[in-house]
Amino acid sequence: MDKLQKRLSQLRNFNKKPDRKPAADTNPSSSASSEGSKSQSALSSSNVSSGPDSPASGTLPEPFYPVSLGDAASDLPVVLGKIPENLGVPAIPAVGAPEAIDTQDKGTPDKWVPRDPRMVRLTGKHPFNAEAKLSDLYSQGFFTSTNLFFVRNHGAVPEVDIEKAKNWQVEINGLCNNPVSFSVDDLRRTFEVITIPITLVCAGNRRKEQNVVQKSLGFSWGAAGISTALFTGVRLADVLNFVHPQKGAKHVVFEGADDLPNGHYGTSQLASWARDRKRGMLLAWAMNGKALEPDHGFPLRLVVPGQIGGRSVKWLTKIELSSIESQHHLHFHDNKVLPMPVGPDQARAETQWWYDPRYIIRDLNVNSAIATPDHDQVLAATSDSEEATFVLQGYAYAGGGRRVCRVEITLDEGTSWSLAEIKYPEDLFREVTHDDPVYGRIDLTEEDTCFCWCFWSYAVKVADLSKASSIAVRAMDESLALQPRDMYWNATGMMNNWWFRVVIHHLDNNTMKFEHPTMAGAQPGGWMQRLKDLGIDPTKPIFGAASTSDAGNVAPVESANDVPMTKAGVTRKIALSELAEHAGPENPWFVVRGEVYDATEYLSEHPGGPQSITLVAGDDATDDFMAIHSADARRKLAEYHIGTLEASGDAPEKEKDVVEDSAIFLHRKKWKKSALVSVKDVSKDSKVFRFALDNVEQALGLPTGQHVYVRLRRKTEKGGEKVPEGELVQRAYTPLSRETDKGFIDMLVKIYYPSNVFPSGGKMTLGFSELQIGDEVEFKGPIGHFTWLGDGKATIHGKVHTVRQVGLVCAGSGITPILQVLRGVFEDESDTSTEVWVIDVNRFADDILCKDELDVWAKKHPSRLHLRYSLTGKPVPEGWSHSVGRMDGDMMKAYLPRPSDEGIVCICGPPQMEQSGKDALMLFGWQPSTQIVIF
C-alpha cells in the first residue's frame, strides 16, 4: 500500500510538469504482470490529462460544496463551471438551488436538506422520492436543473459536512493487484477529468399506470422519473485499469453510504462493461457545473449511462472486483421485472424469483411520453383557417447507448401512424470540444453512443384533433425495439413502456380538453383510474369508434377489486332470516358484496384467529374485508361462497347493536369514532398516538392480550390541502395503554416509511403519520384468541389453561402485546410464581421501544423475569452485553423456557419472524394449537 501511495504522489507531481514523458516505472505493484505493466504505461501516457492548462495539472479548484447548503461552505471557494455561449450547445437552466427546508421534511432525518417544494412527493414525507411535474420538467429543455431532477432515495440522505467531504474516500479492493483508497481530490488529480451529458431514468418511470391496473410492489412514478444533466468526473474504466483487475474478476460491486434496514445500498456491473470506456461510466462529483447536491450523491457517486437509475450508486464508498455479482439485499430485491403471472403476494412469499438472473434489469428499454398537450390543457377547436395546427411534443429515450430512430403518432388508436420530427440536442456536443477547470474536458467528437433523451414534435391540424378521441405515441430504437401496444404488468411495476395515450374530451363550448393516463404519486386524475371506476379494463382502452386493429390478445391483469370472489355454478338464494341463524361462533356466515360465505371450515386456519371471523358472523363484512385483504385472499374467499343474499330482503346491518354499555368504549360489532388529542415521538420512526374516548371516566374495555381493529381513511391532495378522501385501511393493533386506564387509548405505532422492501411503505402506518390533532379514527373490538386472566391462567382459543412459564418474543412495535402480558403477570399481586422469558429483537439500541419499563420490571423481579435484547444492526454499542443478530433457533433455545405442560410462548413481529419462530418452537416440542400464540 505504501508503494501504491508513493506512486499516486508521483503521478500528481508528474501532472504538474508542462513537458512530461512517461515514467520509467509505470507499474505500481511488484506483483503486477507484464500485461499489467503495459496497462499502467498506457494510463500514464494517454489517459491522464497532460499539460499545464489541463484539468489535472494543478489548476483545479479546491473541493466545492453543494450550493444549496450556502454558508455551510463559507470556507471553501464556490467555483462553478461555465460553458461559453458560442459553443452552441444546450444551456443549463439558470435556476438557483433551493435554500429553504421544505416543511414536509421537518421532523424527518432529512430535516437539513433544502428541497424544491414543487417536487411531487411519491412516498409521503420520508424517504424523499420525487419527480417534477411533467410540464415543469419538459419546459426546462434538454438539461434539468438540479432542484427539479428526479430523486430516488431508499432511506435518509447521509449528512456530509465540509470535513467529511474533504476526507471522503472510495475504497477499491477485491480481485485486483493494486487495492487503493482514493479521495475525490485524488481522482481529479490522477485521472483525466471529463464531462458527459447523461439522462438518468428510474426503472419505475410511468409505474403509476401499472399501479392503477393492479397495485405493484413499487410506488407511483409518473412520466417524469427522468432527468438530464452534465456529469463531471473520471472514467470508471480508467480507475479500474489503474488497480489492475485479476483474472476471474467478472463483476464490479459498488456500495453507497446510505444506511438502510438491510445494510447499505449496493449493486454491481459486469466487469467487461465497467472496463469499457465506450459505455461512459463515471465516478462523478459534479452535476451541471456544481457540486452534487445531497439528494444526488454528494460528494461522490457512480453514474451509469444507458442503464436504469438504480445502477448509479450514490454516496459511493466502496468498489470491489469480484468473481460473483453483488450480494447486497437490494441488488436482488429490487430492479427486477418478474414474469407477469407472479403477483405481489407471491413475489413476497417466494424469494427464489428475486435470485433468478434472467429477471435482472440493466439497460433501459425504449420509451416515450407526451408532454404537450399537458393534462387538463384546453384547446379551442375553432379557427379561421382549415390549416391551423397544434404542435404535439414529448420526449423519447432508449437504453444501452442506442439511438431512438423513429417516433410515431396515431390519432385513431393505431390504425394509422405518422412520423414525428426528432431533435437530438446531445448531437450538438459531438461538434465541439471544451476545457474548463471544473468541467475538465468536454469532447464527444469521437463518440457515437446516445446516452440522452431526444425530443419529438408533430404539427397536427386542429381540425384533425377535433375529430379524434385520443393521441398515442410510440418510439423505436436502432435495434428495432418498439414500444408495445399492450402493458406488460409485473409485480415490481418496472420498465412500463406501452403506448403513451392522451384522451381528447370534446366539450360543449367547441373546445377540447386533454387527459393524461395518470398523475404521479397520490395526485388524482387520469383516464386510467376513470375507466377502472366505470368498470372498464384500463389495459385495453378504446376511446372512440372501435379500432380495426386487433385488440384483446393479452389477458387482462386482475386488479384486487376485480378478483372474482364467487364460485361458479352457485345459484342458491339465502334469506336474511337464514343468515341470522348463523350469527354465532359455531358455524359463522357473513356477507361481502351481497354474496354469502360460510367460514366454518376456515376458522382454525385464519391468520388473525377465529374471532376475526366470528365478529362479523351474520353481518355484512364488505368494508372490513375489502379494506384488509389482498387479491390472493379475495380469490381464496370464493372457496367458501355458498349463495347470494336475496334481493327482496334487507341487507344485514353492518353495525347491528346488541346492548351498549356506556361505561365501556369498545363494541365488538360497531365501529366507534375517537379523535386524536396528542402525538409523542418515542424513536426516529415510532410515535404514541393518544385518542380520546367518549368521556374521561370511560374504560376502553380491552382484556389483557386482546387487540382492537383500527381503521382510517388515507389522505389525498385536493385544492392544496390534505383531505381524508383516499383509501380506507384497517388492521389489528394492541394498544399501549393499560386495561385500567380511562378516558383515552394510546397506540404505539412504528411508521413504515417507503423502502425497497416495501416501496409504498405501510399503508396503515403512513395513514397514522398523516393524522393531525382533531382527526378521527375508528375502533372496534376486542378481538383475539388469547387472554391473560391473571394468577397463572390464560384462555387460548376459548379454553382455559394454567400457565406458569411464559416465553415472549417480539421485534419493534410488536412489543405492545408482549408488554400487556408482562403487566398482566407482574402487576398481579396474587401471582408470585409465574416466570417470564423475553427476547426483544431490534436493529439498534435506540430502536428498543418501552425499554425503560422493561428494564424496571427486570430489576424489580430478577428471579422471575429473564430479559434478553438482540441487535441486528452495526455497529453495536460499546459494552453491549446482550445478543447480536436475528432471532434463530439457537437464541430461542438459550433464552426461552423449555417445553412444559404449563408453558406457552407468544410471538409478535414481522410475519417471517413469526413463522420461523413457530417452526423452531415446534421442533423443540411446543404444541402449535395450545402452546404457541401468534399475536
- Decide: 140 and 287 in contact? Cβ < 8 Å: no
**Can you tell me the distance from the alpha carbon of 935 to that of 811, in angstroms, rounded to the nearest whole number?**
12
Strand order through the sheet with 903-908: 883-884, 865-871, 835-842, 805-811, 903-908, 932-934
545: left (phi over 0), alpha (psi -120 to 50) or beta: beta
Helix axes 34-42, 236-243, angle to 10 degrees: 140
User: Rounded to the nearest 5°, which phi and psi values hold at 380?
Assistant: -75, 135
Helix axes 851-860, 815-826, angle to 10 degrees: 30
182 beta partners: 170
Active-site annotation holds for 202: yes
Closest CA to 260 of 111, 117, 400, 156: 156
User: SS in 3 state form for 259-275?
Assistant: EECCEEEEEEEEHHHHC
88: left (phi over 0), alpha (psi -120 to 50) or beta: left
- Decide: 496 and 487 in contact? Cβ < 8 Å: yes
Active-site annotation holds for 906: no
10, 58, 524 from 190: Cα distances, Å = 10, 10, 51
CA angle 497, 501, 504 (to 5 degrees): 170
Within 462-603, strands assigned E span 470-477, 500-506, 511-515, 573-574, 589-592, 595-598
**Can you tell me the distance from the alpha carbon of 220 to that of 453, in angstroms, rounded to the nearest whole number?**
22
Active-site annotation holds for 335: yes
Q: Is 202 annotated as a binding residue?
A: yes
Within 600-650, strands assigned E span 641-645
**Can you tell me the distance from the alpha carbon of 795 to that of 145, in angstroms, rounded to the nearest whole number?**
63
Q: Is 382 exposed, middle or buried (0-12, 13-18, 19+ CB in 10 A)?
A: exposed
Q: Grid coordinates standing for 886?
A: 436475528
**Cell 367460514 found at:** 599
**Can you tell me the distance from the alpha carbon of 682 to that of 673, in angstroms, rounded to the nearest whole number?**
25
Cβ neighbors of 522 (< 8 A, separation 6 or more) are 220, 716, 717, 726
408, 462, 549, 557 from 416: Cα distances, Å = 10, 18, 10, 27
457 beta partners: 393, 421
User: Rounded to the nearest 5°, which phi and psi values hold at 753?
Assistant: -70, 160
- Which entry of 295, 334, 412, 624 is annotated as an active-site residue? 334
What does DSSP assign to residue 576?
A: H
Q: Grid coordinates standing for 596?
A: 354469502
- Which entry of 202, 450, 452, 454 is annotated as an active-site residue? 202
CA angle 719, 723, 728 (to 5 degrees): 140
**Can you tell me the distance from the alpha carbon of 71 to that of 52, in angstroms, rounded to the nearest whole number?**
32
- Which entry of 47, 335, 496, 497 is annotated as an active-site residue? 335
| Helix residue spans in 664-783 (DSSP H) | 763-770
- Decide: 94 and 331 in contact? Cβ < 8 Å: no
**Can you tell me the distance from the alpha carbon of 776 to that of 532, in angstroms, rounded to the nearest whole number?**
29
Within 261-315, strands assigned E span 263-270, 282-287, 290-291, 301-303
- Decide: 825 and 791 in contact? Cβ < 8 Å: no
- Residue 306: which H helix or E strand, with range? none
Show which residues are catalytic: 202, 334-335
Known binding residues: 202
Known binding residues for Mo-molybdopterin: 202
